[in-house]
Amino acid sequence: MKRNPTFSALLLASLIPLACADTIQLKDGTKLEGKILKEDPQSYLVEVMVTKSIKEEKTIAKADVAKIDRVKPDEIAFALLSKLTPAPDLLTAGEYQVRISKLEKFIQEFPTGTSTPKAKAMIDELANEQAAVAEGGIKLNGHIIPASERDANKVELAARTLELAIRAHVQASEWLPALRKFSDFERDYSTTLPFKESLPVVKQAIEAYRTQVNETAASLPKRLEDRKIGLERMTSDDRNGSTRAIDEQNAGVEKRYTDEKKAGVKWVTPDSFHKASLDDASRFADQELKRLQALKLDSKIDAGKAWRDAWAAVHGSDAKAVTTAMADVKAAKISPELIAELETIAKDAGLIK
């Protein structure tokens, strides 16, 4: 059989699968994946991926085709929903409902689809978790913690919430909010597992932030010169107005920088035209990166577990166990406010004086 000259390119494209692609089996044994855009009595017009970012349309003669396995519409629709379970940690009951509603809509559109049983099973899974969350429970580390156990997991829940917030900022390339939140995280929960797990992400965020700040600082002289030239080309009135606006903006930036320094803000707000703030941000990023790279964490200390053990002890009847547990939470550097909460419960129960 004489091969179509496009077959070589199609064979290459077949190595880059399309999501929900039709599978075209040629008579010579070649298997292609692509999206059939249209057909006529003699051929198919197929969209294939030549690279991960480049699509091409190819014409395939029907005489060369052995069979075609077409993706069903419900399979295409379900592919967009298949990641709705398992649900991530810390979703609200309302966020669960959004996921459930998407699956319910799919079932309404494809009541007899091949993926409908999977969609129903996913709804059941989400509904069960939603019910627990609506009653005050929460999902943590892939498991539902009922409302009755939330206080016993208070430290790890708080730490995990901060960790997820930091990861969300990093995912959105919001470096400064991520790093400021990490400072709070380290202050209050440095001996928790979520804190330890966040360190690689935070180090990457610091490196990215430092690069961004350094690039901005390096371009400052040219940007200042360009602004100066732009002002000189203006009419006198326009130049005076623009100069006043720039002076007011500079004064505001300087005040913010000074106020943040006085308040002890570690991660100051850098401004693209304020050299001192850029230098400060870069210098502190260097300092923090070196510190975190050298940071030694005691792998034996887990504040989340220490709190759970202490919570169980103060609700028990063993005074000796309470003494041991209280020593452990103090060694884990749990906040004085939380330790005071444990002590109050233990005193009320007559377990400590």
pLDDT digits (tens, 9 = 90+) for 147-182: 999 999 999 999 999 999 999 999 999 999 999 999
Name the more confident of 55 and 89: 89
* Tens digit of each residue's pLDDT (9 = 90 or more) over 285-309: 999 999 999 999 888 899 999 999 9
pTM over 0.85: no
Per-position DSSP letters for 121-152, written without gaps between them? HHHHHHHHHHHHHHTT-EEETTEEE-GGGTGG
Q: Identify the CA nearest to 246 among candidates 226, 261, 265.
A: 226
> Rounded distance, CA 44 to CA 102, Å?
34
Q: Could you tell me the two tokens for 255?
A: 């005040």
Residues 6+ positions from 234 with CB-CB distance below 8 Å: 242
**Residue 20 confidence class, pLDDT cut points 50, 70, 90:** low
CB atoms within 10 A of CB 160: 24
The HSE-up count of residue 326 (CA atoms within 13 Å, CB side) is 21
